[in-house]
Amino acid sequence: MEYENHILITGTTSGIGLGILKYFTSLGWKVTAINRRNDPVHECSFPNANFEHFDVQDLTAVREYFRAAAASGEIPSVYFLNAGINRVDNVDGFQIKTFREVMEINLFGVMNFVSEALPLVDHHPCLFIVVSSTSNIFPNPNCLGYFASKLAAHEIFSALDRVNRPKGVRFKSIILGPVATNIFVSGKLASKLQARVRDLITLRVDHVVPSIVRFMKSDRQALFYPKRSVYLFRLLRLISKILPGFYRGSAPPTRSNQ
């Protein structure tokens, strides 16, 4: 499927979103980057990209963006819905405030764009992509909002794809294993063994981007990547059925936003 060369990316200040921004600007695509922070140093490296500044949770701002885009006839055809956070919400008790914040950004922050873009892209080939996680195969029990939001986003995108595919509108999910972004700089892990395993399966952003781009062009609904992470998480899920509670989970630093 060929899409018009206009991609919208949420969360481009670091990590995977930044990798995707670099890739598509280098191809000469029109790129709209949605960031909650105005970062002039970051933005001046991409003089041809259009930077918009608002929080993905802010439905009024999302609506305003699409109203202006429709008025100027510049509706993107590819949506890389990447902005997300990970927070500890289940250590020393379940923290509803933190859980809600993660759900608001990772799930509603994605669906805000779907709800406002979908009526505008009717009759045009269009692609929505959500960045989910292998944690939806086997959750970190300390980060339940992360697990629930990434699982829900993937399941919703599968359902939306079945309904919208005949109209040329695709909904795809990337079920991604660990990638070396901010969280891994100072994340605390439950054991040395766990840290060693994580280091073995963790990829760099520049390794992940080409696979994501190939997947975007493919016909598949979901990318499970890399395979070794997927097999490991499936194995962990199996072991946890035999030995419930064997995995106590890792605890990312609270300031982390991966």
Ligand X SMILES: NC(=O)c1ccc[n+]([C@@H]2O[C@H](COP(=O)([O-])OP(=O)(O)OC[C@H]3O[C@@H](n4cnc5c(N)ncnc54)[C@H](OP(=O)(O)O)[C@@H]3O)[C@@H](O)[C@H]2O)c1
- Residue 257 found at the interface with ligand X (CB under 6 A): yes
Please state, in angstroms and rounded to a whole number, the distance separating the CA atoms of residues 142 and 190. Answer: 11
Please state, in angstroms and rounded to a whole number, the distance separating the CA atoms of residues 185 and 58. Answer: 29
- Residue 139 found at the interface with ligand X (CB under 6 A): no
- Residue 8 found at the interface with ligand X (CB under 6 A): no
Binding segment for ligand X (CB under 6 A), chosen from 77-85, 90-98, 158-166, 232-240, is 77-85
Question: What is the size of the binding site for ligand X (CB under 6 A)?
Answer: 29
- Residue 181 found at the interface with ligand X (CB under 6 A): yes
Question: Whole-number minimum distance, CB 164 to ligand X, in Å?
Answer: 22
Question: Whole-number minimum distance, CB 151 to ligand X, in Å?
Answer: 12
Task: Indicate the pairing of strand 126-133 with strand 78-81.
Answer: parallel
String of DSSP letters for 181-215? STHHHH-B-S-HHHHHHHHHH-B-HHHHHHHHHHH
Which is nearer to ligand X, 13 or 240 (by Cβ)? 13
Strand residues in the chain grouped as ranges (E): 6-10, 30-35, 50-53, 78-81, 126-133, 169-176, 222-225
> For binding to ligand X (CB under 6 A), which residues are involved?
10-17, 35-37, 55-57, 82-85, 105, 109, 131, 133, 176, 178-179, 181-182, 257-258
